[in-house]
């Protein structure tokens, strides 16, 4: 506002100087031309008069004087002065009211309040009050918000709610007992967005505790607080679901990475077994299982390598773990049967072979039938 008043003074000086210069030129011209037609002037006349020239000169001087008076009137009406600025603001507000331009009405009252509060306009409008202008401004901004909402201009609507919030806070400090300002401060915080929900609940609660709070206003405060709590619960549920989804994605990524590493270790173990280095092969397979324990193929390979080492008891446990992880793995059931045969447990081996046959793997059917025949069906 200080910048506005400085600019106003500078503009006033510039216009005043221009006006004085223009009028001084006109005045000088009048004086010069008057001397030309003054017959009693001492000294040599400046021009030779012909018949009728005096009348023409008088008419010209009258026209010049009329121009001077019109220029003076026009300058007085357009000069940048506090009175003219005040009149301009009032005209702008009246024009905006006629066209229901509530945004322009609010802007006009805002400038008027600033001018009155700074002291620049107060001496010229003793009937006006800055706080009353702020009240009219906040009323106009609420009506402007309704217009914006109907148009779907939600970005500008959000800006206007921030303006309402700032005005409500100012008026609340001026009239702390007025429940309307607490109500508007709370509602505007709610409309600004979720980041200010806690502020909204605080001010709406203050409004309800105010003895001056009307019943309708209390109902509105209660419903708004309930809506805020519902939105907070919904936001918390969405955040929890998103966190769960992110964790599931991270877990899947970790599992995929672990599975890839386990497959590489398993391939290294198979290569070592092909070179008859079963101790190292078994070590690699066990490492693969520690990285990714859900791979039934790893337990099948471990069992087979243990069979080659002659450790039928541990190979049985490996095969049993494999069929537990994947009950539809025919190879695991078949190898479990072989491990049981090696331990002379024919009845259990027969059951394992039958389970393998029930899975109908064409590559194993003949082999399973031969093993069952050897055990005596």
Q: Please indicate, yes or no, if residue 2 is contained in any of the structural domains.
A: no
Residue with tokens 């000294």: 43
The verdict on 103 and 219 lying in the same domain is: yes
Q: Which residue range(s) make up the domain with 288? A: 257-375
Task: Enter the DSSP assignment of 193.
Answer: -
Q: Please indicate, yes or no, if residue 11 is contained in any of the structural domains.
A: no
The verdict on 215 and 99 lying in the same domain is: yes
The verdict on 352 and 262 lying in the same domain is: yes
CA distance 305 to 281: 8
The verdict on 281 and 172 lying in the same domain is: no
pLDDT of residue 5: 42
The verdict on 222 and 291 lying in the same domain is: no
Q: Please indicate, yes or no, if residue 370 is contained in any of the structural domains.
A: yes
The verdict on 199 and 272 lying in the same domain is: no
Residue 28: pLDDT above 70? no
Q: Please indicate, yes or no, if residue 365 is contained in any of the structural domains.
A: yes
Binned at pLDDT 50, 70 and 90, residue 231 comes out as very high
pLDDT of residue 34: 46
CA distance 229 to 197: 9
Number of compact structural domains in the chain: 2
Q: Please indicate, yes or no, if residue 71 is contained in any of the structural domains.
A: no
Q: What angle do CA 189, 193, 195 make, to 5 degrees?
A: 90
Q: Please indicate, yes or no, if residue 90 is contained in any of the structural domains.
A: yes
Q: Please indicate, yes or no, if residue 290 is contained in any of the structural domains.
A: yes
Query: In 3-state terms, what secondary structure has residue 51?
Result: coil
Binned at pLDDT 50, 70 and 90, residue 10 comes out as very low
Residue 254: pLDDT above 60? yes
The verdict on 110 and 176 lying in the same domain is: yes
Q: What is the H or E stretch that residue 176 is in?
A: none
Residue 196: pLDDT above 90? yes
Q: Summarize the confidence of residues 155-163 as an average pLDDT.
A: 94
Closest CA to 200 of 223, 216, 177, 178: 223
Count of H-run helices and E-run strands, the chain:
15, 0
The verdict on 192 and 293 lying in the same domain is: no
Binned at pLDDT 50, 70 and 90, residue 365 comes out as confident
The verdict on 274 and 371 lying in the same domain is: yes
Question: At a CB cut-off of 8 Å and minimum separation 6, what does 227 contact?
Answer: 190
Q: Please indicate, yes or no, if residue 107 is contained in any of the structural domains.
A: yes
The verdict on 297 and 188 lying in the same domain is: no
CATH number at residue 304: 1.25.40.10
pLDDT of residue 223: 94
Domain boundary among 184, 210, 229: 229
Per the prediction, the chain carries an average pLDDT of 82
- Please state, as a whole number, how many other Cβ atoms lie within 10 Å of the Cβ of residue 335: 25
């Amino acid at each position: 506002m200080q910048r506005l008043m400085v600019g106003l003074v500078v503009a006033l000086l510039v216009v005043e100087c221009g006006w004085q210069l223009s009028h001084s030129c006109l005045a000088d011209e009048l004086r010069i031309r008057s001397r030309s037609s003054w017959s009693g002037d001492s000294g040599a006349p400046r021009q030779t008069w012909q018949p009728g020239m005096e009348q023409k000169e008088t008419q010209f001087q009258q026209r010049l004087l009329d121009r001077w008076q019109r220029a003076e009137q026009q300058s007085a009406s357009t000069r940048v002065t506090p009175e003219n600025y005040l009149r301009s603001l009032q005209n702008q507000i009246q024009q905006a009211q006629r066209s229901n331009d509530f945004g322009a009405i609010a802007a006009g009252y805002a400038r008027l309040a600033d001018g009155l509060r700074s002291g620049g306009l107060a001496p010229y409008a003793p009937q006006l009050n800055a706080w009353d202008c702020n009240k009219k401004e906040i009323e106009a901004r609420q009506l402007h918000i309704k217009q914006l909402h109907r148009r779907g201009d939600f970005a500008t609507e959000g800006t206007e709610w921030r303006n309402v919030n700032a005005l409500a806070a100012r008026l609340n400090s001026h009239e702390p007992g007025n429940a309307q300002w607490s109500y508007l401060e709370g509602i505007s915080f709610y409309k600004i967005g979720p980041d200010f929900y806690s502020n909204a609940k605080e001010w709406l609660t203050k409004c309800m505790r105010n003895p001056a709070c009307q019943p309708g206003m209390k109902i509105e405060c209660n419903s708004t607080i309930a809506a805020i709590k519902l939105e907070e619960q919904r936001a918390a549920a969405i955040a929890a679901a998103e966190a769960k989804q992110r964790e599931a994605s991270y877990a899947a990524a970790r599992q995929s990475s672990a599975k890839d590493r386990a497959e590489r270790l398993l391939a290294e173990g198979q290569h070592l077994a092909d070179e008859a280095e079963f101790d190292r092969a078994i070590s690699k397979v066990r490492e693969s299982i520690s990285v990714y324990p859900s791979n039934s193929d790893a337990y099948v390979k471990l069992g087979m390598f243990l069979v080659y080492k002659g450790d039928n008891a541990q190979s049985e446990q490996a095969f049993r773990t494999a069929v537990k992880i994947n009950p539809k793995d025919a190879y695991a059931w078949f190898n479990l049967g072989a491990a049981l045969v090696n331990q002379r447990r024919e009845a259990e081996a027969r059951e394992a072979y039958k389970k393998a046959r029930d899975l109908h793997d064409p590559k194993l059917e003949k082999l399973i039938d031969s093993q069952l025949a050897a055990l005596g069906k």
